[in-house]
Homo-oligomer: A and B are copies of this chain.
Amino acid sequence: MTHDLKESFNADSPPAPAALAAKVRTLAPSMTRSMQRVAEAVAGDPAGCAALTVTGLAELTGTSEATVVRTARLLGYPGYRDLRLALAGLAAHQQSGRAPSVTADIAVDDPIADVVAKLAYDEQQTLADTAAGLDTVQLGAAVAAAATARRIDIYGVGASSLVGQDLAQKLARIGLIAHSHTDPHLAVTNAVQLRSGDVAIAITHSGSTVDVMEPLRVAFDRGATTVAITGRPDGPVTQYADHVLTTSTARESELRPAAMSSRTSQLLVVDCLFIGVAQRTYETAAPALAASYEALAHRHTPRPR
């Protein structure tokens, strides 16, 4: 599956009911300027845009019909007509559930209570977006591969390395052979050992972190089943991925680095992967979980009161 470029994601989800705002955010970086203007308008006011014709929306955004159609395509619809229908559906949706008013960015002078509320809300949003945007077919395939893998190598650097470690820890707990690699050199060194029947998982929000791409490429070339967990489903890392799991991207602000929401999103994906694997290996996973719990008991003071 060596797809690249724009055509790749036109193939996947034909319809896309909700989670449009999330999709817009994920795809925004791969859009051209004028397409971003259109996407922004659409995400900002679905109801309003649903009432517009191609020409209308083109005028509103100061672009051309062609650009509007292109944007619709990029978002996964066959054409503008279908995007418009989806927007109408979305509008009806929002109508029912009025959003709370903590959506604003976190400001420097926000009282601490607001920070808590906004952050919690944002992360909840990120979770919802991620769940909506996750391709369950890809996830299922990744789960199947991991559940039967001889060994699982995980690559991630920076903030993503923690996510990788988390996954490795959990998989190890249910008796699988899983390792997380942070050092790029060691990662490549290890990747060389992989072959068919092994699984390599790369975690990178940007989709273009060389330190993570390189070991994945090696694993891919060696015949291992490769999985990319990334916020950029069109990024270069997907070249070497048999299965791509997309994380969502929340808008970031000055005080809220992208790493924060991408981490939340990545963790959800990783958890889903883990649970999926645990389901498939239930016979061995359940006792292993119990055993590891037992083994740690003595590390706690006897009676917590």
Measured CB to CB, the residues of A under 8 A from B are: 5, 17, 29-30, 50, 84-86, 88-93, 95-96, 106, 108-110, 112-113, 115-117, 119-120, 123-124, 127-128, 130-131, 134, 136, 139-140, 143, 157-159, 162, 165-166, 169-170, 173, 206-211, 213, 232, 234-236, 254-257, 259-260, 263-264, 267-268, 271-272, 275-276, 278-279, 282, 285-286, 289, 293, 296, 299-301, 304-305
Contact = CB atoms under 8 A, between A and B. Distances in A.
Q: Tell me how many chains of this kind the complex includes.
A: 2
A156 to B, nearest CB: 12
Contacts of A293: 257
Nearest to A211: B299
B93 A96 contact: yes
A59 to B, nearest CB: 18
Grouping DSSP codes into helix (H, G, I), strand (E, B) and loop, the A interface class, with mixed when no group exceeds half, is helix
Given A5-B305, A112-B140, A124-B128, 20 more contacts: A50-B85, A84-B85, A88-B88, A90-B92, A109-B279, A116-B131, A120-B268, A159-B169, A162-B162, A162-B166, A206-B300, A210-B301, A213-B301, A234-B304, A234-B305, A235-B304, A236-B301, A254-B289, A255-B285, A257-B293
